[in-house]
Every structure is written in C-alpha cells, then in structure tokens.
C-alpha cells in the first residue's frame, strides 16, 4: 500500500546509504512532490495556482504531516509572488526536530502570514504551497536515503488523508500523474559541503554524463518532454548555446584540475548556458540557479548560494518507493563522478535524440548501461530499487503468436510550443500542441522483421509494411506517430485525427490484428471521469481490440520513412 513500510525495501535503502558512506561522499537529497484532487475538474485542480478548496486541503496536509512528526509545528508563512499575480501565494511551513517530543502545534488556515525562518539550525523544515493544478510539498533535505524515503512515505500518507492524490484518471481511463513535477535536489548539509562545491569537476561531469545517457533525461520524464518541457536538455535549445557549452565545460575542467574554480565562477559560467529556449534559467534539465547565485535574496538570506543542483526532467511518481529509487540512482551517479572523473565528449545526437530515444526499448537499454557503469564503480543500485526504476515506464501490451511476442508501449512525444516562446514566459501556463501520440512496436527475440501499420478508416488508410530496426540486445522496434484529436489552438488546422491505430503481424502460420483507440470506439462523450480504478481499467480495455486468425498479413507497399525509428502517419 502507498506510504507503508516494506522491510525488504528498507534493507535496500540502507544498503545504498552504506555504499555512499564507504566512499566518504556527502550528498543530501530533497524533492518537490505534488498532489491533486483526482475527482475535481475545477481550475485550481487542473491549471490554476489557487482557488476552490486548495487552501483548506493544503492546510489539512500540513497538519496531518505534523501529527506524524516529533514536536512539529505548522505556521502560515509568506509565499512566493509571481509576475502578474496581485499578491503572494499562500504557504504553510512545517518545522520539527528528529529527536523532539510533545504534540504537534498547528495554526489556523487563515492565520496571518509570517516570514519563514532564515536559519532552522538543527530543525527540519518543509513547506506546503500551491502550484497550477496541484499542492506542492518542498521536502526537507535529507542526509540519507532512508530518511528521505521515510519522509516521503509520511507525505504521501498526509496527502491521502487530505483527499489528495499523486495520480489522476482521464476521461478515457488513462492514468496520469498529478501534474507539477517531481524535481530532485542534490547538495550538502551546508553550501560549502555540497559535492558540487567541494569537487568542482563534478558538475561539468554530470552535464556530460546526462548528455551521453538520454535515459536520464527521458525515462523519468512526464508527457511533455523536449524543448517545451519544464526541464529541456541543453541540446534541445538554440544551436549557438549548445556549441558554447562544450567550450565552457572544457575551460571549467581545466580550472578544476588546477584547484582554481570557485563556486561563483562555476555558477556564472553555467547559469547562462543551462536554460530553456527563451533563456529561462529556472526551466532547465539541470538547474543551477541555487548553486552559487548572488542575485536571489530572500528574507535577508542569500537564497541562491546553497550549493544545490536541481534535476527537473522528472514527473510526479505514483508512490514514494519510486521517488526513493530515483534519488538512489542520481545520488549514485553523483558519487560515481566524485570518485572517478568523467570527461567523455558531449554527443551531438541530432535527429536521433527525438527519434531513437523516444522509444522505451532504447531508453531501457541505455539505463542498463548506466546501472552497469555504477556497478563497475562499486555504487550499484540495489535490486529492489532497480525494480522501482522500471516502474517509471508502462510495460505496455504484450501480444503473442507462438514463440514470438510483439509489445506495444506508449512512447515519448515531443510536443512543440504554439506561438512565440518569449510571449508565454509571463503566463501561468504555456500552450503546446499535444495532439500527437507515439507508440513503440517492439519484438525481443524471435519474430518477424516487419509489421503492417495503418490508421483510421477509408482507402487512404490501407496497411503498409514498417520494418523494425535493431536497437541492440536482440530487440527490434519502430515508433508510430499519429494525430489523436484536432486542437482548438495548435498546428495543422483541419488535419483530421486518425483513430484507431491498427497493427497487423504474422508468425508461425498465425496472424493478429490489434486496434488501439485513443477514445471510445463508438464515439461520443464519456459520462464523467471514471468513478474508480475498476471503471478506469474497463475504459482502457474497451479501447483495445485483438483478433487472431490462421494465415498471413497482406500489405501492398512500404513506408517511405522520414526517420529510421519513427513513422509519422500524418505524412501518409
């Protein structure tokens, strides 16, 4: 059950902490889980930062969490004020001491805000704040994975008690995360003890390592990946800035080798390069705005000089064990970069980045390479935590003919921003064209080298052969992309949606036809959101049809492929 203890998992967490301790590396971890009202379509629970009962539920979450912590106190504190918002958003602070005793003390939900403490000393401190569509919990940083996982469990329990959820269902039954994000922060007990400050070569090495392993960018990402996301990679931005990043890393590494790289120079060199397409330094895959930034004063403290690097290409996980596994992975990666320098050249992936690495099979293989590298450096992720890492991507639909298995899995899609990027910077939400969907068709082991693909109905949708491409380790795959609805605001006005996606394949004298519908096969509106998990499953299942027969598949022609790993059915 979500939020409950698991002795075997706890043993894996302790094993990870021991591996890090043996290396003598201090790496503190924090995160920002987000929760929503899964049964509500009010703007406050879909897109707006405040409104409805969000204040009351955030207060209930904070009070329930305080009740689980020794001697905790809840206070109403001054929240952030964003551009074009008339007043600061509400915020609740929860403060406690691990060794404390006495009951929790709480404030009224409408109490007058007070400034948050500038120095919490030995106390732990977290905040509960609103964000568009969600309530966000900014976790107290933790010195160990065991402590981090324990705090996460308490937060999930408190959210559930407040009627909030880490996931929600769509009308068609698909499961989605709450929204917001699941950003991960890495640093130290004090700014000076952060691994990025103590070992100046580590941050440039981390940038190289993540660039070389796209699974660290995409395996954990939410539905909106790529340049329009909340955490775009440096190679998804402008070409000129990407070229300059290689020069900057080489120069910083030279300075680090001489022992002449202070944290303010590390920040100033990277802060203007690790940004999104509009130049926003907050919205970057590796966010360094709180590394050693002198320009973020807050309540008299230098809020930017914290020695922190934040990883932002992460969606909100379903359960705390998944978040703990992610923390273990990146903590091990940073420790590996501390004990063994990494100077591999940056890879310019070009089209392959959004073509090959949109496919879960390609990402899975790359993640295995990362885990193998950590094993070689004595910092391997324990087996049970590896299982939780696998859970970040759907296992898909397995279709079998004899000894062959064709697996259909949701793949990543890279939705573009609609309109001018800079003009949307001050808006509460940005507009993307989310009308495309991509599926991966893969065969691992025996099976044909091609499948027949079509979409929708009519003569124009006659099936064509699509050849699977080798991804390594005996896996062959292809990505299939289509439009699933016509957006009110988006690209290609008038271009129709194409439903269903039809895949046909044959093996050992048997043939199979698979239909995947994005919406209900009979058309029309759903009668509200799914009432529960059972109804959501029923809606998902009615959108999948599989028919098996004796014989073969006939497809008269081949696709003229635009890219090796992706067939775009909109180009038919």
Is the distance from CB of 129 to CB of 136 less than 8 angstroms? yes
Per-residue confidence (pLDDT) for residue 148, from 0 to 100: 98
Cα separation, 423 vs 427, whole angstroms: 8
Helices (H) and strands (E) in the chain, counts: 13, 24
**Average pLDDT of span 163-189:** 94
Is the distance from CB of 90 to CB of 57 less than 8 angstroms? no
Total residues belonging to the chain? 572
Cα separation, 266 vs 203, whole angstroms: 9
Cα separation, 215 vs 370, whole angstroms: 9
391-436 residue pLDDT tens: 999 999 999 999 999 999 999 999 998 876 666 666 666 788 999 9
Structural domains of the chain in order of their starting residue, each with its CATH number = 7-48+132-390 (3.30.590), 397-571 (no CATH)
Cα separation, 569 vs 132, whole angstroms: 34
Cα separation, 302 vs 294, whole angstroms: 7
* Average pLDDT over all residues of the chain: 92
221-273 residue pLDDT tens: 988 898 888 899 999 988 999 999 999 999 999 999 999 999 999 999 999 99
**To which residue do tokens 């001489």 refer?**
258
Per-residue confidence (pLDDT) for residue 19, from 0 to 100: 96
Cα separation, 157 vs 152, whole angstroms: 9
- Transcribe 220-249 into DSSP letters: T--SS-STTSSS--GGGS-HHHHHHHHHHH
Residue 77 reports pLDDT greater than 80:
yes
Is the distance from CB of 16 to CB of 328 less than 8 angstroms? yes
**Whole-model pTM?**
0.95
**Average pLDDT of span 44-49:** 94
**Joined tokens for residue 61:** 């979450």
Which of the two residues, 368 and 83, has the higher pLDDT score?
368
Nearest to 380 by CA among 423, 333, 346: 333
3-state secondary structure at position 60: helix
Nearest to 115 by CA among 78, 76, 73: 78
Cα separation, 29 vs 182, whole angstroms: 13
């Amino acid at each position: 059950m979500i939020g409950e203890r698991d002795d075997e998992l706890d043993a894996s967490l302790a094993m990870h902490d021991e591996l890090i301790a043996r290396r003598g590396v201090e790496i503190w971890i924090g995160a920002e889980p987000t929760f929503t009202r899964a049964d509500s379509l009010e703007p406050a629970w879909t897109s707006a930062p405040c409104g409805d009962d969000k204040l009351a539920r955030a207060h209930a979450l904070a009070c329930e969490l305080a009740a689980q912590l020794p001697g905790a106190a809840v206070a109403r504190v001054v929240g952030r004020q964003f551009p074009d918002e008339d007043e600061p958003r509400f915020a609740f602070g929860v403060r406690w001491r691990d060794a404390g005793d006495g009951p929790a003390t709480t404030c009224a939900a409408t109490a007058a805000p007070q400034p948050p403490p500038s120095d919490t000393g030995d106390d732990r401190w977290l905040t509960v704040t609103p964000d568009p569509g969600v309530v966000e919990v900014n976790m107290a940083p933790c010195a160990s994975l065991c402590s981090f996982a324990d705090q996460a469990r308490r937060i999930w329990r408190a959210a559930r008690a407040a009627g909030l959820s880490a996931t929600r269902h769509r009308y068609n039954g698909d499961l989605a995360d709450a929204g917001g994000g699941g950003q991960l922060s890495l640093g130290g007990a004090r700014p000076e003890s952060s691994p990025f400050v103590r070992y100046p070569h580590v941050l440039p090495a981390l940038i190289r390592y993540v660039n070389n392993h796209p699974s660290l960018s995409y395996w954990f990402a939410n539905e909106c990946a790529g340049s329009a996301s909340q955490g775009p990679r440096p190679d998804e931005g402008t070409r000129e800035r990407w070229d300059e990043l290689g020069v900057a890393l080489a120069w910083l590494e030279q300075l680090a080798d001489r022992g002449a790289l202070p944290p303010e120079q590390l920040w100033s060199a990277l802060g203007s390069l690790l940004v999104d397409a509009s130049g926003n330094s907050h919205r970057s895959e590796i966010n360094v705005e709180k590394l050693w930034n002198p320009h973020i004063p807050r309540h008299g403290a230098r809020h930017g000089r914290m020695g922190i690097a934040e990883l932002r290409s992460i969606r909100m996980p379903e359960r705390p064990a998944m978040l703990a596994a992610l923390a273990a992975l990146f903590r091990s990666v940073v420790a590996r970069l501390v004990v063994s320098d990494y100077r591999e050249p940056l890879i310019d992936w070009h089209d392959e980045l959004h073509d090959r690495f949109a496919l879960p099979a390609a990402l899975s293989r790359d993640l295995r390479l990362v885990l193998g590298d950590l094993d070689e450096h004595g910092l391997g992720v324990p087996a049970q935590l590896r299982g939780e890492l696998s859970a970040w991507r759907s296992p898909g639909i397995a279709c079998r003919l004899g000894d062959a298995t064709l697996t259909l899995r949701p793949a990543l899609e890279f939705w573009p921003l609609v309109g001018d990027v800079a003009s949307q910077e001050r808006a509460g939400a940005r507009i993307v064209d989310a009308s495309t969907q991509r599926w991966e068709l893969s065969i691992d082991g025996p099976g044909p080298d091609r499948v027949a693909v079509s979409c929708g109905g009519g003569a124009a949708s006659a099936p064509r052969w699509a050849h699977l491409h080798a991804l390594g380790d005996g896996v062959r795959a292809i990505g299939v992309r289509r439009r699933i609805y016509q957006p009110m605001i988006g690209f290609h006005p008038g271009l129709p949606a194409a439903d269903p996606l039809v895949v046909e394949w044959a093996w050992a004298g048997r043939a199979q036809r698979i239909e995947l519908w994005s919406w209900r096969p009979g058309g029309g509106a759903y009668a509200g959101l799914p009432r529960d998990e059972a109804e959501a499953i029923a809606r998902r299942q009615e959108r999948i049809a599989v028919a098996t027969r004796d014989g073969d598949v006939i497809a008269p022609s081949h696709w003229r492929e635009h890219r090796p790993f992706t067939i775009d059915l909109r180009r038919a």
